[in-house]
Structure 1
């Protein structure tokens, strides 16, 4: 039973944390809600950082989850620019790292997110080496891309994942020269496999991006503290005025580990282990968003998902679970991307090796199609490219678990709804 004397603490001021606080109030919780954010900016959404805001098409204020006055109006105790350095599960307290203040909790939600992986090579301390995770990173990179475009400068990007490709697209729109270094044989290889990775390679090549596949950065060369070039393990040197490290993100599990909470094997994505109700190994502590490793019965595995939709839906689900409501978090993984004139949405989970074939419905050459990753006739994932309003039908196919007729699946004239009826 939840009462007005209880205190719920949320550690992490991203989208998941802000939406959890919003949900607690919307569900009628009248106790204390304390939201602790280690950034000085109010909670914001991250997709614009590599899309609209980075391109200068969206204003800074558009990225925030709520207007600043919303927190006081809803009696949310928001602590900006504060870190939590300890969770005492016995005393049920969290300690602020700045001044050692202790705050007692009845329920605790960890939405500490993830942090960019760092390049472990010489030269990363040079001015002109960037990461993209926070609003401050995007503000800086936005100025850099504008300057590179104005001066015909070169940007080298380490990593051809979603962030790397979205920044490559933005940089080309500014007019910068772009080289992408990727150890895998295609972009997005770990997500889309080689079949669809090549679609994105060709898209970017048409817009002037140079790719170097199958190689790694070994050194960033500089002079007077500034970036001059980037070297790869095949002996080549690539001119560069700036370098972006876009080699993935690691879950911020340090606080949970120090508190003795169960965490997942880093080789399988890491993260804080939670059950289907987003509860950790401590029944009074919950986790959601990028940092949570949750079971997904649909795929018979445990996943950690770093995308916007997981934060958007996971934060509210955790809040309801904290309130004792009957919650089963089993959302189908979903993400989206916009690059040049290509927009796409992806639902499901089909890493290389998990599927038998990729079935195309539509015209891949015109980049107007739906791709399905299929195993023994069952759809594991679907990606719609410049085809809209089909996410619900694709997810119905995934959830049906039933084999489908491949010929009908590939035929744009056969309604997707009919394949699950």
Structure 2
């Protein structure tokens, strides 16, 4: 049976003499530290009877020596190495309470976060400029265009996203129709639910929800893939053999997101309109034929053109943000997760900001 850590005590001239027995290890300590703290002044610590000692046991001995000024005797070579290692560690960690006013701390945190966001924005803009330069190089030498890589990304960005985007926007169309009908029923204008669903789906909801889903799926995948390649030094190896990571990795992903966003946005808008049509048919007794005819009269072509203008911009933004965050991975695997999260948050934030700017711009030119 493994011996537990224990000690024998005797009274000496300068205080209590302690003789440790058993195994002074973490697994066998028991209540020894508590009993040791309850003793008075300790003069000597005898380690000759110990079967084994680990770092925790050596720390207990060192702490007792510092508190009582005790003398250590009978230490084995192994125990002496541990004691010397702990004695040579002079680091002290003290936690000081931040006594500044809460308002000062809050303003400091807001300022630091603002500087971080600004630096991140500048980095994305610089990365976008480097990507444009690489695109110009590829366009001048058309043989360097990597069409196979772009088509391969169509699977990840587009085809694999169709089920979740379709289901989500279909349900959102039902929710918008239901909530709109509840409010319009108070004025006896349930028929205008068709207007609400049609214009909101084509102009805003379909594309915006698609951009959020693509940012969550593809943007995060871009950041994680490129970040992992950075850690495994694949990107450094590509540079060594003369292959540009911007041309081989970044441009195909950004191009795939840019090309597919208009198609995915249109698909999502149609799914949202179908969801709203199902509710109008079941809840408001509006036949599908009448629903489609009303949509043709309600939705102007400017809404469709507005969606097609915004979609490629959102695709470029999502692709550039995801690839930029992946390229910033430097240290360890934990940073891959942080950068992936940053890619999703930054892409969604910038998409919403740009959507608001587009809404103001289209309203100013009469596309209401």
Q: Which band: TM-score by shorter chain?
A: under 0.3
Higher strand share: 1
- TM-score calculated relative to the size of structure 2: 0.20
Bigger Cα Rg = 2
Higher helix share: 2
